[in-house]
Each structure stands twice: as structure tokens, then as C-alpha cells.
Amino acid sequence: MSTAASAILRLAALAIVATSLGGCSFLGANFAMNRMSEKECMMRAMYFESNRSSAEGMLAVGTVVMNRVDDPRYPQSVCGVVGQKNQFADGVLVRPMTDSGAVLAAQVADQVLRGSRHPGVQNAQHFHTAGLRFPYNNMFYVLEAGGNEFYEKRSVR
């Protein structure tokens, strides 16, 4: 085998190993999402979106994820919902969870996947950082928790 062919094989092997360890995309395939459990996807959404603020904030985020899973307009799995482009924090499925918030996220994820919901979230499928305001009149706010404001989109009459 030539030196160039050997170098190409080494680079290809390194790329495959790096993407499988980091959960990144390689040639358009998202290896991270394909190998993550529903619990891990839920944990990651709650961890990154609630800023590890509280169990209440994590439960509220988890409730939004499940509200979307239950709606036919969205993917029918937790990982599908969390992995949707431009819907959750950048890198939510690939960034490392580095502090004790991951332990709390695991506990709350178990509760959500067993059916627990934050009653204040109601049917909300959306949230944004608390304190921001947008000029849309179809946003009906239902709860502030974990540094986020949760809202339903409703038709304006």
C-alpha cells in the first residue's frame, strides 16, 4: 500500500473514531442521535435548556418535549424532537454535560419518561429565555420556570 493510501485510511479511521466519541456528524449521519437512548436525549434537553437551574425548570422543559412528541406535527420520539434543527440549544446532543446538573437531569428525565408533567406548562410546546419579549400576539404565556418562559401559540381572533 502506498504512503498516500495509508495516510487516507488513517485519516478516515481517525474521523470515524472522533465522530463516534464526540457524537458529531460524519458524511451527514448523526451517529450521536442514533445511539442515544430516549432518556439521554431528554436529559440533554433539560440540562442545556434549563441551565441546570432546578428540578422544576427541568420538568417544565421535559413537559414541552413530551407535548411535542404527542403532537403529530413533530417527530414521535424524544430524540427526534430534541434533535430537530433550530429548536433546542446548539449542540444539545453533542456537548458534554460537565457538572452535577447531569445527575439531577437524569432523575427528572426518569420522572418525565414515567409520565410526570409540570402542571403549569399545560399544552405549551414552546419556550424562550425569561425576560425576552417578542412582538407577536399569538404567544400565550403559561409559566416561568428554570430561567425560561413557556407559551402556547394560539390563533389570533
E strands along 38-134, which residues? 126-129
Is residue 3 predicted with pLDDT exceeding 50? Answer: yes
Mean pLDDT of 113-135: 95
In this prediction the pTM is 0.77
Reported as a single tens digit per residue, the pLDDT across 5-37 is: 555 545 444 444 333 333 333 333 344 445 899
Q: What is the pLDDT of residues 99-118, one digit of tens each?
A: 889 999 999 999 999 999 99
pLDDT score, position 10 = 55
What is the H or E stretch that residue 151 is in?
strand 148-153
Predicted local distance difference test score (pLDDT) of residue 17: 38
Residue 126 has pLDDT above 90, yes or no: yes
Cell matching residue 16: 470515524
> Whole-angstrom Cα distance, residue 101 to residue 57?
12
Say what the pLDDT of residue 15 is: 43
Show the cell assigned to 64.
Answer: 414541552
The type of residue at 122 is Q
Q: Give me the residues paired with residue 140 across strands.
A: 152
Residue 2's pLDDT band, with cuts at 50, 70 and 90, is: low
| Matching residue, cell 429565555 | 129
Query: Of the ranges 2-6, 25-29, 141-145, which one carries the lowest mean pLDDT score?
Result: 25-29
Mean pLDDT score of the chain: 83
Share of the chain above pLDDT 90, in %: 66
CA atoms within 13 A on the CB side of 120: 16
